[in-house]
Each structure stands twice: as structure tokens, then as C-alpha cells.
Amino acid sequence: MARKKRGDPVHGWVNLDKPIELGSTEAVSRIRRLFNAQKAGHAGTLDPLASGVLPIALGEATKTVPFLMDAEKVYRFTIRWGVSTASVDREGAVTARSDVRPSVEAVKAALPAFSGEIQQVPPIFSAIRVYGQRAYDLAREGVEVELKARPVTIHEIAVSDAPDADHVEITARTGKGVYVRSLARDLAVMLGAEGHVSALRRERVGPFAAENAVTLEMLEDLAYRGAALEGLLPVATALDDIPDLAVTGSDAFSLRQGRPIVLLPRQVETLKDRLKSGSRTVSAFEDGTLVALCQMRAGRLEPDRVFNLS
């Protein structure tokens, strides 16, 4: 006999404004408990010392997490000049000091070198696996870790504030895999200075933005009033840049059974116009309810991920 799942079948996204000092894994656990959800996960780790947008998926929304991992992100971070640390944040051990304080003009002049596709070496205190272990675990044990540079994309980067000579705030819109601490480290090296990230906030992950994020306190208040579901966004929120198609009840039934459906010529042409270059992914809806994520091939939609939301 199949084991009964613990919790309730709750499906959707929480756009959490994660507070400082709370780890991403613990944030997911607390959200899962608040909703008494059977299943939960997050789309992109956010360091405990960082705050801001942490999208958390519940139930069937976990099937859409991969589509959010590739989404653009916006970070706002502050570099403190004069001190470098092992982890390139305020928690790490001090590794060097300097009296150099780059001017705002010097920072602005250096930033174009970090725009577009660049090669970036992740910080040694990162979750990347080396010899089967996390890099940060090896670094804490004193093991020398050499991480290879990899291509990442930064769409926009600019100085957003300069409160005093010791600090500069930078805002960056990035592709996946960018490490802000590496940006700060490499910028300091370019400017002949020492520096580390003293504050970091993620402002956006794809369609999830800080201005409409909810705090843990807000969710706890909703849960106390028996209205936790008011803090939940639809499963399809993560699919905002994927073309959608309304299907009939019979086609929806076929897709849920794992069977492809045949498209009309006009549907094929419409979807081709809306698909991103190289993509074949289409979301199918029945009466506004997400049915499946499909691949469009040879005039048909073939179900890839089926959702149980009815």
C-alpha cells in the first residue's frame, strides 16, 4: 500500500523577501510548515548574509523550478573598501588591508569591463562541488581549492549610490550563475584596492520582484488568520516568458494521459512567432488552469511535465 504523503496538497509560489541571517534551506522549511505543504523547494540559493527575493515553490510548482533557474536576476550590493576577507563578505577572516579608496569616477570607468559575457572565477566559499565536496567545506578545512573560470553574462551594471569614501553601492542585472562576491573581488583587484561585499540584496528573479514580495511576518500573520493561501502565487507565475495555448477539455485529457495533441496550422504559426530562438516549450491551459508543459514538434504538442491542479 502506498504511503500517505504528509501535509496538504498546496500548489503555488511564494515570493519571499528573505531576511538577513536566514539560510535558503531554513527559509524553505519554514514556508513549508506555514502552509503545511507536502513538497517545497526554492529557485536559486541566497546567502544567509543577503536579503531579498527568494522564490519558493510548493507542490506542483516545484516542476517549474528549472525554468526560473535560468531567469535574469537583479542584485544591489555594497562594497566596503579597505578590507578583503577570505569569503569576500563581512563574515570572513580578514586577509588584507589597504588605504586605497577608489573614487566613484574610477569605479564607473571600470564597470564596462564587467558588462556582457565575461569569464568569472567563483569564490572559494561557494556551493560548487570539488572532488565531490562543496567548495566552502573544503575552504573551511584549510584545503586549497582552485576553481576554474566560467562564462557568465551581466546585462547591466552601474553605480547606484556612494554614501561615503569607504563604500560604493552597485546594481547589476545578470544571467544565471553570476557570483556578486566575485564581481566585488575582481573590481577591487582591477582598481588596486582591497574590498568585500558588506551588504547584498536580490531585487528580482525573473517575474518575482522585491516590491511585491512578502515577509515571513506577513505570512505568519496570514497563517494565524487561516488565510495563508492569500500569500500564494499561481504555479504558472514562473512561466511568464513561455508561450501559452488554451486547449479543449478533450485535448487536456490527452495531455494529462501523456499523449500528444495535434495543432491547427494557425496555432503552429502563432506559437512559432512567440517562441524564443531555439525553444520549443509551450504551456497548455484548460479554462485558465495549467495542464502541461509541452514540446512543439512537427505540428504537435508532446507533454513533458503534466500538472495535477484540477
243 class by beta-carbon count within 10 Å (0-12 exposed, 13-18 middle, 19+ buried) = middle
Q: Is residue 77 located within the same domain as residue 66?
A: no
Least confident span in 122-126, 137-141, 278-282: 137-141
What phi and psi, each to the nearest 5 degrees, are found at residue 20? -65, 150
The boundaries of the domain holding residue 300 are 242-306
- Which region among 75-79, 106-110, 145-149, 219-223 has the lowest average model confidence (pLDDT)? 145-149
Same domain membership, residue 142 and residue 250: no
Q: Per-residue pLDDT for 2 more than 60? A: no
DSSP lists the bridge partners of residue 78 as 169, 199
pLDDT given for residue 222 in this prediction: 94
**Separation CA 47–CA 304 (nearest Å):** 32
pLDDT value of position 278:
80
Contacts of residue 84, Cβ cutoff 8 Å, sequence gap at least 6: 94, 95, 96, 97, 98, 185, 188, 194, 195, 196
Q: Judge if 140 and 233 occupy the same domain.
A: no
Domain assignment present for 298: yes
Distance, in Å, from the CA atom of 53 to the CA atom of 56, rounded to the nearest integer, reads 9
First to last CA, the chain: 24
What is the pTM for the complete model shown? 0.90
CATH code, domain with 192: 3.30.2350.10
Mean predicted lDDT score pLDDT of the chain: 91
Let me know if residue 3 belongs to a domain.
Answer: no
CATH number for the domain harbouring residue 255: 2.30.130.10
- DSSP string over 119-136: EEPPPSSSS-EETTEEHH
Residue 25: partners with Cβ closer than 8 Å, 6 or more residues away: none
The domain boundary, picked from 152, 187, 205, lies at 205
Residues 163 and 104 in one domain: yes
Q: What is the pLDDT of residues 15-35, one digit of tens each?
A: 999 999 999 999 999 999 999
Q: Using 50, 70 and 90 to split pLDDT, how confident is the model at 126?
A: low
The answer to whether residues 59 and 109 belong to one domain is: no
Query: In terms of domains, do 104 and 199 share one?
Result: yes
Catalytic choice (47, 89, 186, 251): 47
- On whether residue 90 sits in a domain, the answer given is yes
Question: Catalytic residue at 47?
Answer: yes
Q: Identify the pLDDT of residue 69.
A: 85
| Residues 189-243 pLDDT 10s | 999 999 999 999 999 999 999 999 999 999 999 999 999 999 999 999 999 889 9
Domain annotation covers residue 6: no
Q: Are residues 181 and 199 in the same domain?
A: yes
Which pLDDT belongs to residue 135? 59
pLDDT of residue 1: 46
Q: Both 66 and 107 in a single domain?
A: no
* Average of per-residue pLDDT across 235-261: 95
Residue 261 lies in a domain: yes
Average pLDDT over residues 162-175: 97
Instruction: Report the pLDDT value the prediction gives residue 134, as an integer from 0 to 100.
Output: 66
7: in domain: no
Q: Are both 90 and 190 inside the same structural domain? A: yes
Q: Do the domain assignments include residue 217? A: yes
In this structure, are 133 and 225 located in the same domain? no
Nearest to 18 by CA among 200, 225, 237, 233: 200
Residues 138 and 198 in one domain: yes
Q: Specify if 5 maps to a domain.
A: no
Name which of 112, 89, 72 is nearest 182 in CA terms. Answer: 89
The pLDDT of residue 95 is above 80: yes
> Last residue of some domain: 205, 222, 253?
205
C-beta of residue 128 within 8 angstroms of C-beta of residue 134? yes
What is the count of structural domains for the chain?
A: 3
Query: What are the two backbone dihedrals, phi and then psi, of residue 131, each rounded to the nearest 5 degrees?
Result: 55, 35
Cell numbers given for 4:
500517505
pLDDT above 70 for 63: yes
Same domain for 154 and 53: no
